[in-house]
Amino acid sequence: MFPEAQFIITATDAPALPGAYVLVIALDQPLIVTAPKMRATCCRPAAISIAVRRGPGGLRARLSRHMRSPKSIRWHVDRLPETGRVDGAFVFPDGNECALVARLSHLDAPIAGFGSTDCRRCRSHLLAWPREGDS
């Protein structure tokens, strides 16, 4: 169901194919998100946040935007690197973002609706990797 994931550090390492990806972002400080249809919410500092998206224009093009700085704030995920850094991404050519979220459903989804306002299946497309020492 899922092809092998490839972890990339730069967008140029990503294939120029359609697919889904898990963007790994390390937050250096608490994140407060204020976006339409979302109340201000806070993610813990130093948490690894995972934004799962399917990119039009191919994986390379979409990841190039996410990994570039500075950039205009267009998508929910654009707010994350403002308080942290993009460490890389797992890419899944021909992958499906909702299937990836389902596969990672054991992770906390700290902000309901984040990155999934157009999705009726998923509570959120932002997931939080537990910090060391978290249960």
Q: What is the pLDDT of residues 108-131, one digit of tens each?
A: 776 776 766 677 788 787 887 776
Evaluate whether 45 touches 81 at the Cβ level (below 8 Å).
no
Residue type, 2: F
**Residue 41 parent element (H or E):** strand 38-43
Quote the tokens at residue 87: 């460490």
Give the residue-averaged pLDDT of 16-34.
Answer: 78
User: What's the predicted TM-score (pTM) here?
Assistant: 0.78
Q: How far apart are CA 58 and CA 84, in angstroms?
A: 24
Is residue 49 within 8 Å of residue 115, measured between CB atoms?
no
User: Quick one: pLDDT band at residue 46, thresholds 50, 70, 90?
Assistant: very low
- Residue boundaries of the structural domains of the chain: 6-129
Asked whether the beta carbons of 115 and 53 are under 8 A apart, the reply is: yes
Distance, CA of 38 to CA of 33 (rounded, Å) = 8
Q: What is the pLDDT of residue 28?
A: 73
